[in-house]
């Protein structure tokens, strides 16, 4: 597979997160600490869109059950909850990103 152009860096910087599609897969782009990160836009708990959740200080919080994912590593910071029960939650799939001439490219 090859890197695929997905967005301009200025657009991501302005919004801090974008939803893009790579090879028909939804991908969440985030901008944090002067770096670009890419991960699956599907929560590893029940596949809800992470783009629709909150993004703050490098953590994406799924709006459906509150799972929190570190955008730098894909690791789960907080498992999904159903009422008071914490649910099993796998790590999120992350992808390789490169930025050239203010263009963002992702490799799945």
Instruction: Give the residue extent of every domain in the chain.
Output: 4-107
Determine the Cα–Cα distance for residues 37 and 6; give it in Å rounded to an integer.
12
CA nearest to 75, candidates 57, 92, 59, 55: 92
Among 46, 45, 40, 41, which Cα is nearest to 88's? 45
CATH 3.30.390.30 for the 4-107 domain, yes or no: no
Quick one: pLDDT band at residue 104, thresholds 50, 70, 90?
Answer: very high
| pLDDT score at 81 | 86
Mean pLDDT calculated for residue range 63-78? 95
Task: Give the chain's mean pLDDT.
Answer: 94
Is residue 59 predicted with pLDDT exceeding 90? Answer: yes
pLDDT number for residue 80: 84
Q: Are 36 and 94 in contact (CB under 8 A)?
A: no
Nearest partner of 31 among 13, 49, 10, 56, judged by Cα: 13
pTM attached to this predicted model:
0.93
Query: What is the predicted pLDDT for the residue at 45?
Result: 85
């Amino acid at each position: 597979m090859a890197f695929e152009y997905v967005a301009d860096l200025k657009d991501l910087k302005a919004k801090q997160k974008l939803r893009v599609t790579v090879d028909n897969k939804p991908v969440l782009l985030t901008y944090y600490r002067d770096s670009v990160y890419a991960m699956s836009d599907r929560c590893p708990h029940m596949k809800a869109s992470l783009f629709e959740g909150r993004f703050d200080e490098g953590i994406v919080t799924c709006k459906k059950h509150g799972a929190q994912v570190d955008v730098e590593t894909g690791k789960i910071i907080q498992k999904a909850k159903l009422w008071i029960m914490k649910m099993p939650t796998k790590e999120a799939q992350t992808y390789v990103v490169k930025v050239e001439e203010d263009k963002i490219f992702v490799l799945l």
